[in-house]
């Protein structure tokens, strides 16, 4: 097995040399040159809806989201003014105190579309964390809401997932430590042997069935399922470890999300550099909301994560002790919007 | 100098834009070749990106960010070409080639051929993030800007791309060793 440095060095050398020199072909240069006179340049439009240039980090979805939010606010303001007895418009009854509202407001943002904020004061270049606040977890966790504190950034390995990880001052590129929400699709029979296939999602459609399948994974150990609730929704919790490592489970997949993204066995079988049998625990909370089976995976230890060790961070059994407390707060904050009428 | 050329091109100066093509064309084409792994698609993507650059240059808010903006255009053009290609190739998986590869018998260091094979097996989004970070030299944040995705998505794609590259190479190595000792 090659070391990470060797591997990255080989990869970069491969990319650098590639197919030799690949200059811009004359054909392309000539065709661009020929088309310029007939290609009109787009002039920026004045006003609020001026076309945003492509260097903006804001995605098109986020821009439409912003527009939608503006419309929602405009409609809400209009309703407050026009409908007597609602809100703070001219016809509203005076209220001595503004009662806090526990339910989400229209301004709650989907976590996957969160904007960026500084992660911590010690690392000015890390400005990719989500601003602290309440975020929607839909569509991964239907109607789900969660409170995210400062110092965490959004992360998900593919469609059907959303989550947050901590950003530590001594790592340049994330921590690999946090919480991940996944909407479950097909589930592996053996996460380390793809040839054994998967259980169809229709066969594993409840927390009880899923935890049963997980308990049967070869080379994995799960604690007895514990009955829990998440935001008032009943479910089960199990803590999984594995005796496998990358030499015995090079390409793991525990399941696919409902959107088809493969989910690997991190952190259970990734020894952060190929150490055998690290046994890093992962906690799984399994719930069902609106007929969708959702797994909430959290890191089950305060230890230095496998991802951090792969960056050369020393083993420290208490590295994430404070994060564990914060993580519990995140879990406790999960709640659900009322179902649509 | 560069800023002056960009500002002139923004005002419709074709000569200035030609000068910008001379400066950046080779690099854009190199990036496209590595992301798409197909010379014809890469040419089309580069042409598309350069024409988009001309068309939308007046909307660029900061001329000093011209190069970063070009990277975003070439990534967008590459992904558009890849999508177009997928729609027109229904039986042959894009860029998937499976054949035995040579293994460096003196060590477990991956040969160039193994890397090439493993790199071809990646999806276009994963190749993009590998190229932007390990060829262009971008940070994750810069790559996120170029790809128009959250930084977390870039990190996860890079993590999985490297993991899959290593796994594919190691699987090939085991296969070669098993075949060699059989």
For B14, name the nearest residue in chain A, comparing CA atoms only.
A36
A234 forms bridges with which residues in the sheet? A229
Tokens read off for A162: 């959303």
Q: How confident is the model at residue B46 (pLDDT cuts 50, 70, 90)?
A: very high
CA angle A119, A122, A128 (to 5 degrees): 20
Q: Please compute the mean of the pLDDT values over residues A71-79 and round it to a whole number.
A: 39
Q: Please compute the mean of the pLDDT values over residues B57-67 and round it to a whole number.
A: 84
Q: How confident is the model at residue A81 (pLDDT cuts 50, 70, 90)?
A: very low
**Per-residue model confidence as pLDDT tens digits over A32-70:** 988 888 877 766 544 332 233 333 333 333 333 333 443
**Per-residue model confidence as pLDDT tens digits over B120-155:** 888 888 999 999 999 999 998 888 878 877 777 888
Give the Cα separation of A264 and B161 in Å (integer): 13
Q: How confident is the model at residue A245 (pLDDT cuts 50, 70, 90)?
A: confident
Give the Cα separation of B108 and B103 in Å (integer): 8
Give the Cα separation of A179 and A300 in Å (integer): 10
Highest mean pLDDT: which range of A272-281, A312-321, B77-86: A312-321
Tokens read off for B99: 């054949």
The predicted complex's ipTM stands at: 0.81
Q: Is B68 on the interface with A (CB under 8 A)?
A: yes
pLDDT of residue A222: 94
Answer for the pair A187, A215: CB distance below 8 angstroms, yes or no: no
For B157, name the nearest residue in chain A, comparing CA atoms only.
A157
What distance in Å separates residue B47's CA from the closest CA in chain A? 6
Q: Please compute the mean of the pLDDT values over residues B92-111 and round it to a whole number.
A: 39
Indicate the burial class of A119 (C-beta count within 10 angstroms; 0-12, 13-18, 19 or more): buried
CB neighbours of A32 closer than 8 A, spacing ≥ 6?
B21, B47, B50, B51, B54
CB contact under 8 A, B29 and A25: yes
DSSP string, B92-149: S-TT---------TTSSPPPHHHHHHHHHHS-HHHHHHHHIIIII---HHHHHHHHTS
pLDDT of residue A333: 97
Interface test with B, best of A1, A4, A16, A18 (most B CBs within 10 A): A18
Alpha-carbon distance values, B24 to B8, B75, B136, B158, B172 (Å)? 16, 14, 13, 25, 37
Indicate the burial class of A284 (C-beta count within 10 angstroms; 0-12, 13-18, 19 or more): buried
Q: Please compute the mean of the pLDDT values over residues B23-36 and round it to a whole number.
A: 95
| Placement of tokens 């003014």 in the chain | A81
**Per-residue model confidence as pLDDT tens digits over A260-291:** 888 888 889 864 444 544 578 999 999 999 99
What distance in Å separates residue B94's CA from the closest CA in chain A? 18
Alpha-carbon distance values, A140 to A70, A128, A208, A296, B144 (Å)? 24, 22, 20, 10, 22
- The proportion of chain A whose per-residue pLDDT surpasses 70, expressed as a percent, equals 72
CB contact under 8 A, A251 and B171: yes
Q: For residue B122, how many C-alpha atoms fall within 13 Å in the half-sphere facing its CB?
A: 29
Give the Cα separation of B174 and A291 in Å (integer): 43
Task: List Cβ<8 Å contacts ≥24 apart for A315-319.
Answer: A319/A168
CB contact under 8 A, B134 and A154: no
Nearest CB among A2, A23, A157 relative to B160 is that of A157
What is the average pLDDT score of chain A? Answer: 77
Task: List Cβ<8 Å contacts ≥24 apart for B166-171.
Answer: B166/A2, B166/A7, B167/A246, B167/A250, B167/A251, B168/B114, B168/B117, B168/B118, B168/B121, B169/B110, B169/B114, B169/B115, B169/B118, B170/A1, B170/A250, B171/A250, B171/A251
CB contact under 8 A, A51 and B28: no
What distance in Å separates residue A16's CA from the closest CA in chain B? 6
CB neighbours of A11 closer than 8 A, spacing ≥ 6?
B115, B130, B134, B162, B165
User: Looking at A36-40, A70-74, B158-162, which range is the least confident one?
Assistant: A70-74
pLDDT of residue A149: 95
Q: Please compute the mean of the pLDDT values over residues A65-87 and round it to a whole number.
A: 35
Nearest CB among B14, B28, B109 relative to A2 is that of B109
pLDDT of residue B76: 85
What distance in Å separates residue A53's CA from the closest CA in chain B? 5
Q: How confident is the model at residue A336 (pLDDT cuts 50, 70, 90)?
A: very high
Q: Is B40 on the interface with A (CB under 8 A)?
A: no
Tokens read off for A94: 């005076």
Answer for the pair B132, B71: CB distance below 8 angstroms, yes or no: yes
CB neighbours of B2 closer than 8 A, spacing ≥ 6?
B20, B23, B66
CB contact under 8 A, B115 and A8: no
Global pTM reads 0.52
Query: How many interchain CB pairs under 8 A, A with B?
Result: 158
**Per-residue model confidence as pLDDT tens digits over A169-226:** 776 556 889 999 999 999 999 999 988 999 999 999 999 999 999 999 999 999 999 9
């Amino acid at each position: 097995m090659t070391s990470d440095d060797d591997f990255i060095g080989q990869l970069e050398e491969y990319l650098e040399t590639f197919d030799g020199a690949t200059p811009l072909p004359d054909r392309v240069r000539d065709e661009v040159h020929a088309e310029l006179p007939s290609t009109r340049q787009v002039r920026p439009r004045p006003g609020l809806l001026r076309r945003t240039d492509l260097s903006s980090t804001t995605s098109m979805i986020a821009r439409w989201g912003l527009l939608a939010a503006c419309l929602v606010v405009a409609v809400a303001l209009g309703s407050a003014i026009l409908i007597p007895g609602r809100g703070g418009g001219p016809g509203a009854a005076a209220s001595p105190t503004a009662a806090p509202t526990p339910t989400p407001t229209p301004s709650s943002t989907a976590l996957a579309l969160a904007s960026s904020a500084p992660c911590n004061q010690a690392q000015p270049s890390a400005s990719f964390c989500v601003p602290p606040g309440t975020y929607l977890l839909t569509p991964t966790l239907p109607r789900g809401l969660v409170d995210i504190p400062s110092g965490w950034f959004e992360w998900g390995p593919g469609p059907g997932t959303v989550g947050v990880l901590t950003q530590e001052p001594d790592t340049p590129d994330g921590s690999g430590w946090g919480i991940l929400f996944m909407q479950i699709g097909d589930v592996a029979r053996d996460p380390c042997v793809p040839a054994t296939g998967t259980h169809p999602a229709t066969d594993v459609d409840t927390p009880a069935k899923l935890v049963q399948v997980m308990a049967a994974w070869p080379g994995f150990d799960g604690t007895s399922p514990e009955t829990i609730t998440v935001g008032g929704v009943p479910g089960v919790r199990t803590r999984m470890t594995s005796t496998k490592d990358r030499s015995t489970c090079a390409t793991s997949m525990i399941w696919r999300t409902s959107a088809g993204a493969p989910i690997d066995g991190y952190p259970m079988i990734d020894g952060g550099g190929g150490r055998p049998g690290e046994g890093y625990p992962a906690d799984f909370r399994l719930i069902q909301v609106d007929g969708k089976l959702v797994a909430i995976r959290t890191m089950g230890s305060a230890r230095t994560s496998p991802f951090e060790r792969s960056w050369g961070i020393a083993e420290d059994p208490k590295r994430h002790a404070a994060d564990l407390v914060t993580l519990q707060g995140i879990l406790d904050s999960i709640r659900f919007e009322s179902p649509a009428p | 100098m560069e800023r002056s050329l960009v500002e002139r091109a923004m005002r419709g100066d074709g000569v200035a834009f030609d000068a910008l093509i001379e400066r950046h064309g080779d690099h854009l084409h190199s990036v496209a070749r590595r992301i798409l792994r197909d010379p014809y698609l890469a040419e089309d993507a580069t042409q598309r990106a350069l024409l988009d650059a001309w068309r939308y240059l007046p909307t660029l808010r900061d001329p000093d960010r011209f190069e970063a903006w070009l990277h975003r255009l070439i990534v967008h053009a590459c992904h558009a070409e890849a999508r177009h290609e997928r729609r027109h190739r229904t039986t042959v998986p894009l860029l998937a080639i499976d054949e035995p590869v040579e293994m460096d018998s003196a060590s477990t260091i991956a040969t160039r051929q193994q890397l090439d094979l493993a790199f071809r097996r990646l999806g276009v989004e994963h190749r993009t993030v590998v190229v932007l970070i390990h060829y262009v030299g971008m940070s994750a944040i810069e790559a996120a800007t170029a790809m128009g995705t959250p930084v977390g998505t870039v990190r996860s794609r890079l993590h999985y791309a490297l993991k899959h590259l290593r796994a594919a190479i190691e699987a090939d190595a085991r296969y070669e060793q098993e075949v060699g000792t059989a």
